[in-house]
Structure 1
Amino acid sequence: MPTTTTRVPQEERTRVMRSRLLDATVECLVERGFAGTSTTLVSERAGVSRGAQLHHFPTKNDLVVAAVEHLTEKRGAELAEAAAALPDGPRHTRAVLAMLADHFTGAVFAAALELWVAARTDESLLAAVEPLEQRIGREIHRITVDLLGVDESLPGNRELVQATLDLVRGLGLASTITDDSRRRAAILDRWSEVLEHALHHPDDTDGDQS
């Protein structure tokens, strides 16, 4: 009985090839840093011919700028998936912090960090990185507000959310140097208590009011 070969449309082949190249770029950024990432290395890892890679991304910056947007989409999808799996109940706030900490200590954030550092001294890369980072920053802030049920119209609540994000981002940066998971867990345990109290008992004071 004759077999039928299904022909994959050119547009789909191109999409798959680009995705492989961008995923390989992210992997190289995590493993080798920006300086150690080359277009040759990326094409080899992606299993894409050098000519095809150069056709889509003629220079390293073209490739990395596309990877920035790819990273932004991956980070947004990663957060949305993690948020959907969070438990309800008394440990919810701690679970939200754990989700954020996992994001800021994960491979996708590590790749983004490499781009931040490189963009500091590369104007064309900075022009691509800055607006995308602002976009993902706004999205992370929105997700955090939603998950914690924060009313940002109340004084101080927006600053609490921002302090939380600054905290977990800082812990993520520290984790790139050494494994500080035990210290990080203790800090998040304590911050979840502070956050719970501040959000749910905003009118508490240390002294009596008469």
Structure 2
Amino acid sequence: MATPHEPKQDRSRVTRQRLLEATIDCLAETGWTGATVSTVAERAGVSRGAAQHHFPTREELIAAALEYMFDNRMDMSKAEQILIREIPPGAVRTHAVVKALVESYTSPFFKAALQVWTHATTDPVLRERIVPLEAHFGRIAHRRAVEGLGVDDSDPVAHHLVQATLDLARGLGLADVLTDDSARRKQIIDQWSKTLHLALEGTMLAKKEAPQED
């Protein structure tokens, strides 16, 4: 907790971060209805007035929490990329990439984001704020997958295989919301990794064997 001797700017930054983290926790654990400004403020250990000083409306608090969540997820993804690049290209690396993608959709971050997506379907104002964030996150996730797998994204087959992997990861994340789906999920990750690796190898081989244009 910030002390009275800390600069005002630092105390404000710490309070803001606590509010954002409390918002994510509330969304993941109690859903949209439970993530009120009052509940978030109480969980963060600050007054409602302090919370509203940083975020005048609930919508602004939720949107800021999503941005914070995505920034954290991107930082985690960068760390994962460093580890994955140390693995030689091949089936083992493909498995590591698929596993990392699936785990990103089974985290508390995803469960929190899912609550916001669901509510945004009937809230045009919130949807207008969330859609650009989701599109940005989707583009980054796709690029990270391409880099990890080491494929040519300009190839339409490789592009769609990567996108199918992301869609699979999102679907497995949804399946894990209500019950622990970890055992089945591991089997699917193992099988899809093998299938994806063979498909990508076939794509690269076909490209090499294709006649070159003059």
Cα deviations across residues 117-145 of structure 1 (Å, max 9, x unaligned)? Answer: 01111112111111011111100000000
Aligned residue type for 2:8: Q
In structure 2, distance between residues paired with 1:123 and 1:69: 19
In structure 1, distance between residues paired with 2:147 and 2:170: 19
In structure 2, distance between residues paired with 1:155 and 1:129: 28
Cα deviations across residues 84-143 of structure 1 (Å, max 9, x unaligned)? Answer: 233514411111111111110000111111110011111121111110111111000000
User: Can you give the 5+ residue segments of structure 2 that lack an aligned partner in the other structure?
Assistant: 207-214
In structure 2, distance between residues paired with 1:72 and 1:103: 11
Matched, 1:185 2:186: yes
Matched, 1:14 2:15: no
Cα deviations across residues 125-176 of structure 1 (Å, max 9, x unaligned)? Answer: 1111110111111000000000000112224110000001001110111111
Per the alignment, residue 62 of structure 1 pairs with 60
Q: Please give the TM-score of this superposition, normalised by the length of structure 1.
A: 0.89
In structure 1, distance between residues paired with 2:73 and 2:114: 13
Structure with the largest fraction of helix: 2
Per the alignment, residue 167 of structure 2 pairs with 166
Q: Please give the TM-score of this superposition, normalised by the length of structure 2.
A: 0.88
Q: Count how many residue pairs are aligned between Structure 1 and Structure 2.
A: 200
Deviation at 1:6, TM superposition (A): 8.9
Aligned residue type for 1:44: E
User: Can you give the 5+ residue segments of structure 1 that lack an aligned partner in the other structure?
Assistant: 205-210
| Distance 1:184-1:55 versus aligned 2 partners, 3 A rule | same
Deviation at 1:12, TM superposition (A): 1.6
In structure 2, distance between residues paired with 1:34 and 1:6: 34
Counterparts in 2 of 1:42-61, with a 5 A limit?
42-61=40-59
The DSSP-based 3-state class of the residue aligned with 1:88 is coil
Aligned residue type for 2:44: A
In structure 1, distance between residues paired with 2:133 and 2:191: 32
Per the alignment, residue 83 of structure 2 pairs with 85
Larger radius of gyration: 1
